[in-house]
Amino acid sequence: MRRAMTLARRSPHSAGRPLRRWGATAPAVRRAWGHRQALAAALAACVAAAAAGCGGGGGQPAPLGARALAEAQTFPLYRVYWVGPRFGSHALIAADGLHGYSSAGGENVYYGDCASGTSAALGGGCVLPLQITTTIYARHANAPLGAQRNVLLRGVPAVIYDGGRSIELYSGRVAIDVYAEGLAAGLRAVSALRPLNAPGAAVGPLPAPVYCPGLTPARPAAVQAALAALPGRPCQRAAQALAIDRGLFGKG
């Protein structure tokens, strides 16, 4: 699933990594379904049912089986987030695990059927109602996201962009990207986030980031205060390093 997604919904954190399309070439989806034949049959049924879209057709993917889910639940490298086996009416249909893991692609979970009006026969994929991607945070500037809003969600800094369809949260060592059909759905998903491969519940704040996220300067007072209070003072240390660079080299 890391190879065929909508280019418009991309975080600079994962520059070059395609996002949010459900396509026949997706290796993570093939693994999650258990075998290639099941995926091919489902996509064929989807295209036959509705040439213009997969939503609600005979090709609706089956919920993820226990064996495939167990691979994701035992992922050992870092904490991965999901919203449980269902998101409203949408079932969990695929989840990445350690097999084939890519640090650039991170760990992904996928919910629901193809969105109405998209097709696996047109452009190689179709947009899903919800995808959650967890990756080790790599320092990046958020300015390329375009119109955006910095907020606190679940007690941690976050940015809302892509017209409200994309949210990136900063927690622990990771960034959590939530790609949904709209802001309301994205915020519901954020409120339900919990670890997939570690103990935890969808209540209370997420762990504070151990790094200073590259938020744009338009930071509300609450966000600025949260950044200043991060454990280990990473934002203060980053500012000091930048000041030294400017003094020594006149850059930054």
81: Cα within 13 Å, side-chain hemisphere: 29
Q: Which residues contact 31 (CB under 8 A, 6 or more apart)?
A: 68, 71, 96, 97, 99, 100
Q: Once rounded to an integer, what is the mean pLDDT over residues 243-248?
A: 68
Q: Which residues pair with residue 180 across a beta bridge?
A: 130
Domain boundaries, position 126: 12-216
pLDDT tens column, 51-65: 334 444 445 678 898
Kindly tell me if the per-residue pLDDT of 204 is higher than 70.
Answer: yes
pLDDT digits (tens, 9 = 90+) for 168-201: 999 999 999 999 999 999 999 999 999 999 999 9
Tell me whether residue 147 is exposed, middle or buried, using C-beta atoms within 10 angstroms of its C-beta: 0 to 12, 13 to 18, 19 or more: exposed
Those residues whose C-beta lies under 8 Å from the C-beta of residue 210, and which sit 6 or more positions away, are: 172, 173, 230, 231, 232, 234
Residue 223 domain-assigned (yes or no): no
**Does residue 120 carry a pLDDT above 50?**
no
Within a domain: 120: yes
For residue 136, is it within any domain? yes
Helices (H), the chain: 27-33, 36-49, 66-73, 183-192, 221-228, 234-249
Q: What is the reported pLDDT for 238? A: 84
Residue 208 clears pLDDT 90, i.e. is over it: yes
Domain count, the chain: 1
Asked if residue 17 lies in contact with residue 77, where contact means CB atoms within 8 angstroms, the answer is no
pTM of the model: 0.77
More confident site: 2 or 157: 157
Place of tokens 């947009």: 127
Pairing state between β 90-95 and 86-87: antiparallel
Q: Is the pLDDT of residue 106 over 70?
A: yes
Note whether residue 131 is domain-resident. yes
Q: Which residues pair with 150 in a beta bridge?
A: 159
* Residue 106, in any domain of the structure: yes
**Residue 235 is assigned to a structural domain of this protein:** no
Does residue 227 sit within a domain? no
